[in-house]
Amino acid sequence: MTFPVLVLPVKKMKSKGSLRSSVVCSRWPAIAVTASGSKYLGIRSINNELVALIASLSLSTQQFPAASAVGMIRDGVTVYFIAAREPGVQVENPRQVAAYDYPPLHGPRSPSFSRATVARWNGGAMIFLAGTASVVGHETRHEGDVEAQCDETLRNIESIVGEAAALIGCSASLDSLTIAKAYIRRARDYEKIAPRVCAALPRTQILFMESDICRRNLLLEIEGVATVSQPS
């Protein structure tokens, strides 16, 4: 089975400290790792081969990596990933139901990812944060209020990063994030979202992009990488 490999067709982007250009324009991918007709990602899947492929791997929930899936401007699927010889440690958020345990309300097939993956290298560790949004339990919070969703998203990120660090005997907070991507559903919300995110993550290199994201009632999603030092 062959899938098209496309470079994300970026028109323009905004990064922290540079407000001169507009953000990325994107839309739903035509193929997604979800059953046909699923409300999750709001996608009309035209090809279920990818769904079958993922299912055939028979991964346990403890093997699901941190991941994000967002829309782009063209049909097809672009995938990038990091691989290592040693497996990472998967992490869930105590404030949220694990995504793979979402009820059928959100679609006939739950998404297969963990909230974060911890990888240890040379006495330190990196926490790979999955796309995180304004979801508590399994429900969207603050529908229609982009600023409240932004604040809830940041609370979830702090919870996930703290939980991940605790698993390896460390502590971490929002300040531990070194890089982040903020996906914004509506370009007009950038002026509301960017100041809040930059204030919460003053040490983080942040890229803001307009993109369709998981549920229709979510207005933003943030992914990133945090670094921590393990105690000697």
pLDDT tens-digit series, residues 186-209:
999 999 999 999 999 999 999 999
Specify the pTM: 0.78
CATH number at residue 78: 3.30.1330.40
Locus of tokens 């409300």 = 39
Q: Which two tokens stand for residue 170?
A: 């460390």
**pLDDT at res. 144:** 96
pLDDT at 1 over 50: no
The answer to whether residue 194 sits within a structural domain is: yes
Q: Which two tokens stand for residue 28?
A: 């739903």
| pLDDT tens by residue, 118-167 | 998 877 899 999 999 999 999 999 999 999 999 999 999 999 999 999 98
Confidence of residue 41 (pLDDT cuts 50, 70, 90): very low
More confident residue, 73 or 143: 143
The answer to whether residue 123 sits within a structural domain is: yes
> Three-state SS string across the chain, please?
CCCCCCCCCCCCCEECCECCCCCCCCECCCCCCCCCCCCHHHCCCCCCHHHHHHHHCCCCHHHCCECCCECECCCCCCCCCCCCCCCCEEECCCCECCHHHCCHHHCCCCCCCECEEEEEECCEEEEEEEEECCEEECEECCCCCHHHHHHHHHHHHHHHHHHHHHHCCCCCCHHHEEEEEEEECCHHHHHHHHHHHHHHCCCCEEEEEECCECCCCCCEEEEEEEEEECCC
Cα torsion through 158, 159, 165, 166, rounded to 10: 140
Confidence of residue 30 (pLDDT cuts 50, 70, 90): very low
Q: Looking at the annotation, which residues are catalytic?
A: 221
The answer to whether residue 37 sits within a structural domain is: yes
The predicted model gives 206-220 an average pLDDT of 91
The answer to whether residue 20 sits within a structural domain is: yes
Q: Can you tell me the distance from the alpha carbon of 111 to that of 108, in angstroms, rounded to the nearest whole number? A: 10
Please name every residue paired with 90 in a beta bridge, in sequence order, or none if there are none: 117
Least confident of 26-30, 75-79, 83-87: 26-30
pLDDT at 185 over 70: yes
Q: Which two tokens stand for residue 16?
A: 């922290």
Domain, as residue range, for 196: 14-229
Q: Can you tell me the distance from the alpha carbon of 175 to that of 152, in angstroms, rounded to the nearest whole number? A: 17
Confidence of residue 73 (pLDDT cuts 50, 70, 90): confident
**pLDDT at res. 53:** 65
* pLDDT, averaged across the chain: 78
How many domains are there within the chain?
1
| Cβ-contact 121, 135 below 8 angstroms | no
| Phi, psi dihedral angles at 208 (to 5 degrees) | -105, 130
For residue 109, the number of C-alpha atoms closer than 13 Å in the C-beta half-sphere is 19
The answer to whether residue 7 sits within a structural domain is: no
The answer to whether residue 5 sits within a structural domain is: no
Residue 195, sorted as left (phi over 0), alpha (psi -120 to 50) or beta, turns out to be: alpha
The answer to whether residue 6 sits within a structural domain is: no
Closest CA to 192 of 223, 143, 146, 141: 146
pLDDT at 110 over 70: yes
The answer to whether residue 8 sits within a structural domain is: no
